[in-house]
Amino acid sequence: MQIPLPCYDDLTASLTEAWGRMARGVKDRRSPFHTPVLATIGPDGSPQARTLVLRAADPATRRLRFHTDWRSQKTLALSAHPRVAVHAYCPASKIQLRLLGTAVHHAPHTEIAREAYARSQEKSRICYAQKLAPGAQMSGPDEAGQIEGGEENFSVIEITIDQLEWLYLYAAGHRRAFYQWQGEALTATWRAP
Ligand SMILES: Cc1cc2nc3c(=O)[nH]c(=O)nc-3n(C[C@H](O)[C@H](O)[C@H](O)COP(=O)(O)O)c2cc1C
For residue 107, being part of any structural domain is answered with yes
100 is in which domain, residue-wise? 11-133+143-191
Q: How many domains does the chain have?
A: 1
pTM of the model: 0.97
Atom of ligand 1 nearest to the CA of 66: 8
Is there an atom of ligand 1 within 6 Å of 53 CB? yes
Could you give the CA distance from residue 10 to residue 177 in angstroms, rounded to a whole number?
A: 10
Is the pLDDT at 98 greater than 80? The verdict is yes
Assess if residue 3 is contained within a domain.
no
pLDDT at 92 over 70: yes
Measured from the CB, is residue 146 less than 6 Å from ligand 1?
A: no
Average pLDDT rounded to a whole number, residues 94-119 = 98
Any domain includes 23? yes
In a domain, 32, yes or no: yes
Using an 8 Å Cβ cutoff, are 55 and 66 in contact?
A: yes
User: Does a structural domain hold residue 25?
Assistant: yes
Query: Is pLDDT at 1 greater than 80 in this prediction?
Result: no
Q: Where residue 63 sits, what CATH number does that domain have? A: 2.30.110.10
Task: Confirm or reject: Cβ of 124 under 6 Å from ligand 1.
Answer: no
pLDDT of residue 2: 82
